[in-house]
Structure formats: C-alpha cells, structure tokens
Amino acid sequence: MHLLLLELRNQLEFTDDIFEDSIKLLSKYNKIIVAEHSKCVAIEAGQLANVFGENCEDARLAGVLHDISAVIPNDKKIEVAESLYIDILSEEKQFPPIIHQKLSKEIARIVFGITNERILNAIGCHTTLKDNPTPLEMIVFIADKLKWDQEGIPPYFINVQEGLKQSLENGVFAFVKYLYHNQSSLKVVHPWLVDAYDYLREFICEQRAESYENVDILIK
C-alpha cells in the first residue's frame, strides 16, 4: 500500500459512520468545497435512487465517497495509482486529475472498507461513466453533474432534468451528449465517455424504435 494511503488511515479515528468519516477526512485535508459537494451529491444520489428503484444507502455511500481522492495531490495521483496497480490509460497520464475516480474507488475499498462492488464500481466511473452502465453507476454519475461544484446553474441542467422525467437513461444521455458535442472544452476525451455515449445512444434509439412498434401494434 502507498504511504499516502497509510497516512489517510492514521489521520482519523474511524467510526461506524462512513458518511461522517469521509467528510471529516476531506475537511482535515482542507478540501472544504469537495466535502460540501460530496454531501450534496450523496443527498441527490439517494433521492434519485428512490425515484428509480435503487438502494438509497448504496447511492448515498457512493455519492459521499466519489471524490475522496481529492486528498491526494494531483502531482501524486499517477504515482499512487501505479502503486495500487490501477490500469492507467494514456488520457489519464496526459491529464492526471481524471484518474481520481479510480483512486476514489480504491480509497473507498482500502481505507473505508467498502466491499460492495456495486458501490465501488459506481465510484470508479462517476466522472466519465462507461459502457453498459448499471442504474447505480448512472445515478451517481448524474448526481455528480447536477450538483456540480461551480457557481450558477449548469448549462445542461434543464435538458438533464427533462430527460430524467422520461427515464434514467434519457437524463444521463442528455449530459453525455452535451459533453460529447463540446469536446473542445475538455482537457482530454476519455474513452470511457465515448463508450458511454455510444451505448446510451443505441439504447435510447432501440427504446424509441420499440415504442413506435408498440404504437403500430395498437393502431393495427
């Protein structure tokens, strides 16, 4: 284990309340904005989980831990990832902050003792999403985007909310499509994002095709 992770373990007297412990750890490293953002994402993820029939506590835990790797400096992220044998893509080497999703997954596992793979996987793709995402992965992903840590209302907010009224996939795709068509604003285009775009576009097209088929059946 990397020395930084051992240091994390020694920074707090951990309790049975992972939610509070994670916020305390972020605050101890002076990541106040990240801590507040994580609280908001956890609440939003829990609410979305309730709407879409997922486990609310799993969503809250993934939400509060999704950015826990903020305690690792950006110039150390690749080094720590290598020490944990994380598969590092060329895009992540080019822009190390984006690997924080994978690092947060491992911190959740190693430091906080999370063993639920559904939670860990949702943390591990919360920035980019990925191919064939689970409902929990989509929930944590879109909760992160709805509760962004910048000022003002996100430019994609209304489209995402309108999409969510139709389905979880439609809401998530509204954001993925926005990002996909604004690639010039990105530091790197992560291949997982491209995979998510391709998967969701096909999924929604198939949904719409089935709807039209059902309409045809009703007409006939």
Which residue carries 């604003």 as its tokens? 185
pLDDT tens-digit series, residues 12-57: 888 989 999 999 999 999 999 999 999 999 999 999 999 999 999 9
Taking residues 88-116, what's their average pLDDT? Answer: 96
Quote the pLDDT of residue 83: 92
On the question of pLDDT at 168 being above 90, the answer is yes
Are the beta carbons of 21 and 111 closer than 8 angstroms? Answer: no
Residues 6+ apart with CB under 8 A from 57: 46
Tell me which residue of 35, 33, 7 sits closest to 21, measured CA to CA.
35
pTM here is 0.92
Percent residues over pLDDT 90 in the chain: 83
Quote the pLDDT of residue 130: 98
Write the CATH number of the domain with boundaries 3-219: 1.10.3210.10
Q: Would you kindly state where each structural domain of the chain is located, as residue ranges? A: 3-219
| Burial 112-151, CB ≥16 within 10 A → b, else e | bebebebbbbbbbbbbbbbeebebbbbbbbbbbbbbeeee
How distant, in Å, are the alpha carbons of 6, 20, 46, 73, 173 from that of 50?
Answer: 36, 21, 6, 34, 20
